[in-house]
Amino acid sequence: MARKIVLTRNEYAKFVHAQNNKTNVYTTVYDFREFSEKAKVDSSVIRDRIFLDFDAHEDNLEMAWRDLKVVMGLIHKRDYEHTFFFSGRGFHLFLFGEETQDMRNIQTLFKEIKEYLISKVGKDNSLDDRVGQHTRLRRVPNTVNMASSDEDGNPYFCIPLVKEDLSRNLTDILTLAKQQRMIPFKKCGNTKVIFPKAPPIEAMKGEVSVPSSVGKLPMLPCLYNAVMVENPSHIARAYLVSWYRDLISGYQDLENLDDKEKTLNLVVEELERVFADSDSVWLDWDKHTTKKHAKFTVFNNYNAPHCDKLISEGFCVGKCWRFPDVDS
């Protein structure tokens, strides 16, 4: 993926204009205080918002539109500061709040909103459970979604929406999205979210279930949340490789070169199975690059981190079957 750090509004506009209608154009969900020469400094992330993605899985755009409107009823009631968009294949909602240092606090608000949605429409809903990754990307407004199109094959734009649009039907929204919607950027609502403090993991009720497998091997809920996005962090990818290494090796150190090579190939095959053909995760997938980085983890026998490390680094999304590991 072509990436560029831009420091001014003018640079941003030039970059978007140059890429639009040629490729999908993304930007980070979160802002950052510090940048190296070529990349953001992940530790400087500003956690002052939550990004909610109403994903039209299996092309059920009507469900996504319904769910957005249900959640917007809660947002308007609380008068939260927000913006929302049609992405071309679903809907994006941003809620802006006071900065918090713990991503789990943002995830706690998400759970509250998710429970509200379930109480209104049931468990069959479109709100994506993957929330809280500071490396996540979002589509730039008024750029083309190359993966969506109307009946004539014309792609839809990602467009901003306003409160009055909630009274429209989905056909009206799709008609609006056939071209750019150049309306002034404006946050609605007057109240900044104060993210609720997340309870200690051991105090949380219930257990987070293991997600349905997207490959042949199971994936921990925390790693699923961290890697099933467009732009996972390098460390999240490394942890996933170490998790697969542990499963394939039976949690044993690999002693000889032949075993290491076989395990590496199996790890890369699983990564390819999960990420190679998707247009919503690992937008920068490259098998050669993946194998090079995975080799370092596999050949050096790096194990998947224990729960205490995953919790302290903000990966944990709730108590799962592996949680007692924190005490071991």
Q: Is residue 185 part of a domain?
A: no
**One domain, residues 144 and 96:** yes
Handedness of CA 113, 119, 124, 125 (dihedral sign): negative
Q: Is residue 186 part of a domain?
A: no
**One domain, residues 99 and 19:** yes
**One domain, residues 244 and 113:** no
**Residue 35 CB: number of other CB atoms within 10 A?**
12
Q: What is the pTM of this model?
A: 0.83
**One domain, residues 168 and 221:** no
**One domain, residues 168 and 295:** no
**One domain, residues 168 and 309:** no
Q: Is residue 155 part of a domain?
A: yes
Q: What is the pLDDT of residue 296?
A: 96
**One domain, residues 141 and 212:** no
Domain of 112?
9-176
Per the structure block, which two tokens stand in for 264? 């590496």
Lookup result for tokens 């983890």? 297
- Tell me 305's DSSP state: P
**One domain, residues 306 and 164:** no
Q: Which of 242, 274, 76, 85 is nearest to 176 (CA)?
A: 85
Q: Is residue 182 part of a domain?
A: no
**What string of DSSP letters covers 12-37?**
HHHHHHHHTTTS--EEESSEES-B-S
Averages of pLDDT over each 10 residues, the chain, 328 residues? 82 93 92 86 92 85 97 98 96 97 91 96 92 88 93 94 96 96 94 92 70 84 89 91 96 95 97 87 91 96 92 84 62
Three-state secondary structure call for residue 196? coil
Q: What is the pLDDT of residue 328?
A: 40
Q: What CATH number is attached to the domain comprising 15?
A: 3.90.920.10
Q: What is the pLDDT of residue 319?
A: 84
**One domain, residues 160 and 33:** yes
Three-state secondary structure call for residue 72? helix
**One domain, residues 215 and 139:** no
Report whether 145 contacts 157 (CB < 8 A). yes
Q: Is residue 31 part of a domain?
A: yes
How many structural domains is the chain composed of? 2
**One domain, residues 26 and 122:** yes
